[in-house]
Structure 1
């Protein structure tokens, strides 16, 4: 089924064109990644397709049966309503009864829960409710009665993502799902679950992301906005990089050829008399076409990082028996570590385990409960925090940078003015006089990076540096950090970024435990899977029979021995016990299906069924062992 057609779309931001005369088609089942530099118009294009913005020129056609769902970087909520009310906002009987069921489950209202269960049965809503439970559980959304206005930035993003996924799951027949940086503020487990979920749902997807592993796992096609045009590449990110390089090389060769032709035609034009024949008029028209091609400039501008690094002495940071807790929540429990010159360490763990607190303690920005943090005299921290820029009203980019310094020292011994340094960070002169509040999220991140690096840090602390940065800037940042001689400590959910840069990991496992893992993120995940498989294998091993008088008797030959009297009696008792447990479980399951059962009775019955299942497993295993003797 054909979902979307666009012909000749054009959109500008002020005097600067974002894209001009672009055309594309989206069909059912397409999974497309949209990439470009920050400020080129990725988010604007998504908003145009969602009907929240309009193009200046061109035609846009969307099939009447297609629903367009947009997940934005800055989600909008009804601030005076709860998480529950924002997520289950659709006026539909199934959505209404699931909302009632979720509310009753959290509040513990037995009467309300019983009524909700009855209505769920009547509407056949259990399948969709299980999907809702999966989404809310995987995204760590539990306090549904909290007001949205009280949520942190990361919590708001997860609630918005849950709302979007529940909406498309409820009405998924013909939906175009557009997502703008969905992995920001998700931990790695959430990102991996989202990859699996989007592939399992078989949605039609248009995605903006900086996460290259996520892009490769979910998308099959890449669209790039560059120099006001759109370029389409089939395949993964690596294929895109190869094809783009080949395209630029071909364009450069074409321009070079046009310039040679232009020189010849220019000489001819200068020699021609004013009165020209029809033939020469045709050649004259062709001259202007050649001139336009010859004067093209393929500007593949790259962010340049050439900052000077302060000298780093022998003593860097020593952490000795560091403890930190917030009430009953332990962050660090006797953390010991001595940092070495040139180390690149990744910090991973679920959201809320205390990674940011750990970074603050190392920088002496926050006090540990006990223990010592000794920081060397030569250490100069560069802290790229999640807080981002402190925006000042009515301040322009150039004014903001000059408030730190007028000139910036470079690695080669020279220096640059604030304006020149801004150009290295892809802020051309016209952009330098833009107000801070008008910058895109990625441009603000780039400016934040500039203000950190000019201090010549030798110990970089990067807390989620990849959020909102475009892929070209990320590639240059990775290259810079690979050659950086100082220490680097990175907290990031971008697995590709971590794999390229870190030598080992601090894994925050919870309850104050920090594991020092010798490897990158992908190696850590492989280690975890091996560990999980080993645990499953050990769990499935036959249970050793209890030592009884008969069981301890050793057979004197390889012939099958006969069961003892006690084993015969145990075998008979096991058969009766198993039958009794199965009967009890059937009665409890029947009771759970009754509309008259109370909430407390549901809880008790559910717990007992779990106990019975475990007990049956043990007894059946013993019965199988004894059955081999008969």
Structure 2
């Protein structure tokens, strides 16, 4: 493969922090590189150095002759003018409108953007998509993208992944992308670079392969540390052995013991979100009853009824502007409906993570640890009492960063602090609006571990498919038609609905003929736009057929059987993943374990289909 771009012993420091320490990398034709690492580790800096935007303190960046490179920065700096000017400059319409690749970029990124609108009037999300479109319509051989999925909905992320895979097939250029979207990394990238502690570790494959390799690295480090500790105990025992009067020991034995003591490896991967106590949650949580809401002249919710019970875990997806954030504001009480009501249980304690983290502006002058202390000076976690300073340190803030004013924190650090501030309040209902924004993959993994065992009720708005499928039991969609739709098939079903609606020429997926799932009845707790809670998704839905008591009992027994088997499959999958981590270097074992995992996944899919059928009969 042809070499396109390289870094040779590149070093760069920001103040007293060394971000890159003699880093050497190469980028070849056909490669698609995903860059991951903790917030502040230097991912964006690495991209700017590779793109030639920032000069390194030492070393050099080389580029093959004639290679064209373009970079998407996190800051969307667009020249004044119309959207068309920003994307195509002074080119005439016939020069780009005849190119199917460019028309595909317009359709994929700008379906709801007025091309004649002034750039200054665009929202943040629209500016991001315009900047991305301007870069993708060019013929550059190397693209360097910094958080391209920010402000894209699920549909936009899926389109971008498909576009980049097709564009950067073998022999057609190369891609380097920084993103926190794990699904995107797996769908697009063929290699992963992890930036940490001034170095860049390289792994084959996307995010899943990178996580497996890191697990193997951690296991190897644990074995090495255990050997070191055993040897250290022997050396120290030898130094203590002998008559009390003997004060001299061979110097080489003392040096060996000191070397072992000094060889303790630095802590890695210590980030942790602690689960606090959760206030008791009664059987009544949140009931949305016949709610209608209009904002900016658009009806976002049209006579929607939705009953949320204790322990329910919903993921919300939908087109931009469909009302997902407004729905969360209704649930939290920050917004009142035009008609209908939102009823809250007496024991409900709601905590809301907002998309813009604007609540931290009120405490911008306080230090990180002071913000947490203002909520609670100490909490009990796992039977141990922890101070605010200890909690902050668990979440990845070093002692120096814990004394940093909030106004000086990075976007990812502000996000982490907001999460911690919510959790110390011991809520029992969590509303999370785009919780993955600005978070690195380690923090996301810690967040998912926390939410896995969350005993309360959880509502998540996110374009991160990986997060939604990991922590939510079911997905709902706002398609822009004012109705709340159930998605038994998850995000894939949502994308199918959108494709069908667009093919039919409708801006929403409201057409009954677009998919059989569109007109399917929602379960009892999720009723859309009908005064009868069990009437179905639309006002004209047919009444559900009556069923005998025997049929209902049989269906409920089948549901119980399926749920027991699904729980067993979860245990088996966890055991197989543990074996994969232990035998990561044994190719034959990995193949066998992978086959078993695929078989379990296929069985899980069949059982979930059967569960849905039984659930229809049981309701």
Q: What TM-score, normalized to structure 1?
A: 0.71
Provide closer, same or farther for how the CA distance between residues 536 and 351 of structure 1 changes in structure 2, counting only shifts above 3 A. closer
- Secondary structure in 2 aligned to 1:303? coil
1:144 to 115, 131, 140: 115
Q: Any conservation in 2 of the 1:302–1:472 contact (CA below 8 Å)?
A: yes
Question: Which residue number corresponds to residue 148 of structure 2?
Answer: 182
Shift in Å at residue 497 of structure 1?
A: 0.9
Q: Any conservation in 1 of the 2:317–2:476 contact (CA below 8 Å)?
A: yes
Question: Which residue number corresponds to residue 36 of structure 1?
Answer: 37
**Map 1:98-497 → 2, pairs under 5 A:** 98=92, 101=93, 117=94, 120=95, 125-128=96-99, 130-140=100-110, 142-166=113-137, 169=138, 171-172=139-140, 175-202=141-168, 203-257=173-227, 271-272=249-250, 294-326=263-295, 328-389=297-358, 390-391=360-361, 395-398=365-368, 401-402=371-372, 404-412=374-382, 415-497=385-467
Shift in Å at residue 458 of structure 1?
A: 0.9
Shift in Å at residue 262 of structure 1?
A: 6.8
Shift in Å at residue 177 of structure 1?
A: 0.8
Matched, 1:83 2:83: yes
Provide closer, same or farther for how the CA distance between residues 522 and 31 of structure 1 changes in structure 2, counting only shifts above 3 A. same
Query: How far apart, in 1, do the equivalents of 2:45 and 2:257 lie?
Result: 34
Query: How far apart, in 1, do the equivalents of 2:87 and 2:5 lie?
Result: 27
Matched, 1:521 2:491: yes
Provide closer, same or farther for how the CA distance between residues 287 and 299 of structure 1 changes in structure 2, counting only shifts above 3 A. same
Unaligned stretches of 5+ in structure 1? 90-95, 102-116, 274-279, 539-630
Q: Any conservation in 1 of the 2:34–2:206 contact (CA below 8 Å)?
A: no
Provide closer, same or farther for how the CA distance between residues 293 and 135 of structure 1 changes in structure 2, counting only shifts above 3 A. farther
Query: How far apart, in 1, do the equivalents of 2:41 and 2:262 lie?
Result: 23
Alpha-carbon displacement from aligned partner over 1:521-559 (angstroms, at most 9, x marks no partner): 246557888999996999xxxxxxxxxxxxxxxxxxxxx
Q: What TM-score, normalized to structure 2?
A: 0.72
Q: How many equivalent pairs are there?
A: 493
Shift in Å at residue 56 of structure 1?
A: 2.7
Q: Any conservation in 2 of the 1:262–1:290 contact (CA below 8 Å)?
A: no
Q: Relative to structure 2, which stretch is displaced further, 496-505 or 344-353?
A: 496-505
**Map 1:10-29 → 2, pairs under 5 A:** 10-29=11-30
Q: Any conservation in 1 of the 2:283–2:310 contact (CA below 8 Å)?
A: yes
CA RMSD of superposed structures (Å): 3.3
Shift in Å at residue 324 of structure 1?
A: 1.4
Alpha-carbon displacement from aligned partner over 1:346-383 (angstroms, at most 9, x marks no partner): 11110011111111122221121111111112111111
Query: How far apart, in 2, do the equivalents of 1:23 and 1:291 lie?
Result: 30
Largest Rg, 1 or 2: 1
